[in-house]
Structure 1
Amino acid sequence: MIDAKDRLIIEVLQGGLPLVPSPYARVAESLGMDEQALLCRLAELKARGVIRRIAAAPNHYKLGMTSNGMTVWDVDDSQIADLGAHIGGLPFVTHCYERPRALPDWPYNLFAMVHGKDRGEVEEKRAEIAGILGSACRGKDILYSTRILKKTGLRLKPKGQTPCSA
């Protein structure tokens, strides 16, 4: 659980840090608190698992990574935790997660997003993942992106705002 101050900090930061020389000082000032107090609260929120990280979110299209594929894999359930952690740790995998299968139409339970300058590069990365999964993988596919639909994480609504008043 979070208190009202923690919630306010999250609401302010969810839109990103200001692009100024001392962004935490600016955020702290806007919240009426000391920068060190803000940093301590953020460290506590991270330690409790309320927030995972504060990080830059580059636009991969503007970086020249215009081919994007969600690789999907049917991985043996007894090995998915170890293999998923390994795949998620690869430098070219931006997100990796396990999802339940939707049989009989969707046998895939491991998802890993990869980006490349073209489909050839994405396919090379997909082949590397396939090599790591080896015989634990019973099937695979890839879903290529055609456009960006969303580039944000979870957003808290300001307290007291309902979906209809937004």
Structure 2
Amino acid sequence: MPLSAFDSTASIEDEINQKILSVSEDRLQGFIADPFKEIAHLTNLPLALVLERIRLMFSAGTIRRIRLTLLANDLAPGALVAWKIPENSLHEAFDFLFQKDPFSGHVVIRSTDPAAAGARYRLWSTLKVPQGFSIQTHCELLKNLIGAEDYRIMPAKGIFTLGVGHIRRKTILPGTKSPKAAVMHPVAIKTLSEKQWLVLKSLKEELTLEEIDEGLWEKRASKIGMSSQAFFSIAKELEQIGILGRFSTFLEHVKPLYDGRKVTKFNALFHWAVPQGMEREAGGQIGRFEILTHCYWREAGSEFKNVNIMAVAHGKDKGLLESHKKAIDEHLESVGIPVSYTNIFWGGRSEIKPSEIFPEAYKEWLQKMDLDSSVISNS
């Protein structure tokens, strides 16, 4: 359908759509038997209207994908990777990670003050490598494939905040925070049974337009030859293990939508270096701030002045995001958490896709790239 065929009922500015998106982006945690009914319940809107609007927004590209997210750091060794790439190869390397590496998820070209620590690391990507394979070796392979001069692997040691709700965060004022500190989710690889992997793979798949309807998971269960009862039982097991994230309608971050509007314009990666031993406390305090979509404990190393807490915020106003950062800095000072270094890396060109986490996908990629699987070993 041509984009001109969509009217305001597919727009992020529509009042009903905003009400739906404020819930559907990041309020549906864990496994929910009928997620669209839950959205209707939480918004107090008729189910038929919720389904109609989500279908319209999905068809128009306002919603770019719909799926149940996973806490994939607990399923596959993962990290944020900063790449030092020659400037004339930057976009070519970006294209490779986005188009040809199914294990790289978010790929972003970032910039900061040229004099800042790590300023030459312009290309940033999230990476998951399936269990049984080596993230270090994968980065070495990518280094040669994209012509990187160097890279820095920064695994997540703990997660404090994870949930992208752009519409809900549009009106959040600097300093807005939850009454309690964020609780850290320690990252630890989980071992799953064959049936659990089978259900997980079904849960992870992106929805098609036809699947935006009641009975989503019953149909998925039937597709893999499993009863609804067994499927739901295993899904609940996965939720209890702590590896299911949220059922979410994802919006474009910075690309113009069909009507020319943008959901966000700026993407800020905040860095803080706090004393060793205070990472959990600092992350808990930073993770309280509602503007943040992500907050992690990651060790960046000496090249980044030993930054160990990172967080991400999105918005349309750069100055406003800086005010949010200032409010966090002032709060850290007020609660007695010293910061030896802090900085912001601003996002430019970006693409987002889910990372593959299944071992068979990795074997297929090695074969496709004509790489010897014997050189890949778990580390």
Report the TM range for the smaller structure's normalisation. 0.7 to 0.9
- Tell me which of 308, 315, 319 is aligned to 1:116: 315
Report what 1:52 is aligned to: 244
Report what 2:219 is aligned to: 26
Structure 2 counterparts to residues 31-110 of structure 1, below 5 A: 31-49=224-242, 51-56=243-248, 58-59=250-251, 60-61=253-254, 64-110=263-309
Name the SS for the 1:146 alignment partner. Answer: strand
Deviation at 1:154, TM superposition (A): 4.7
2:332 pairs with 1:140: no
Distance 1:16 1:96 in 2: 25
Q: Is the alpha carbon distance of 1:151 and 1:91 closer, same or farther for their aligned partners in structure 2, counting shifts above 3 Å?
A: farther
User: Deviation digits for residues 46-73 of structure 1, max 9, x if unmatched?
Assistant: 2123x23232152233662211100001
Unaligned 5+ runs, structure 1: none
For the pair shown, which has the larger CA radius of gyration, 1 or 2? 2
Name the SS for the 1:137 alignment partner. Answer: coil
Distance 1:139 1:86 in 2: 17
Report if aligned partners of 1:88, 1:94 keep a CA contact under 8 Å in 2: no
Report if aligned partners of 1:11, 1:155 keep a CA contact under 8 Å in 2: no
Q: Is the alpha carbon distance of 1:78 and 1:164 closer, same or farther for their aligned partners in structure 2, counting shifts above 3 Å?
A: closer
Q: Is the alpha carbon distance of 1:43 and 1:114 closer, same or farther for their aligned partners in structure 2, counting shifts above 3 Å?
A: same
2:208 pairs with 1:6: no
Judge which range, 136-145 or 27-36, deviates more: 27-36
Name the SS for the 1:120 alignment partner. Answer: helix
Report if aligned partners of 1:11, 1:157 keep a CA contact under 8 Å in 2: no
Q: Is the alpha carbon distance of 1:76 and 1:68 closer, same or farther for their aligned partners in structure 2, counting shifts above 3 Å?
A: same
Judge which range, 127-136 or 147-156, deviates more: 147-156
Distance 1:126 1:99 in 2: 18
Distance 2:356 2:285 in 1: 26
Name the SS for the 2:344 alignment partner. Answer: strand
Distance 2:313 2:324 in 1: 7
Report what 2:364 is aligned to: 162
Report what 2:206 is aligned to: 16
Distance 1:138 1:161 in 2: 43
Report if aligned partners of 1:69, 1:143 keep a CA contact under 8 Å in 2: yes
Number of positions where the alignment pairs a residue of Structure 1 with one of Structure 2: 165
Instruction: Tell me which amino acid in the other structure corresponds to 1:151.
Output: K
Q: Is the alpha carbon distance of 1:32 and 1:128 closer, same or farther for their aligned partners in structure 2, counting shifts above 3 Å?
A: same
Name the SS for the 1:113 alignment partner. Answer: strand
Judge which range, 156-165 or 17-26, deviates more: 156-165
Deviation at 1:159, TM superposition (A): 7.3
Q: Which has the higher strand share?
A: 2
Structure 1 residue ranges (4+ consecutive) displaced by more than 3 angstroms after TM superposition: 60-63, 157-162
Instruction: Tell me which amino acid in the other structure corresponds to 2:247.
Output: A
Instruction: Tell me which amino acid in the other structure corresponds to 2:281.
Output: D
Deviation at 1:132, TM superposition (A): 2.0
Report if aligned partners of 2:274, 2:308 keep a CA contact under 8 Å in 1: yes
Distance 1:82 1:117 in 2: 30
Instruction: Tell me which amino acid in the other structure corresponds to 2:272.
Output: W
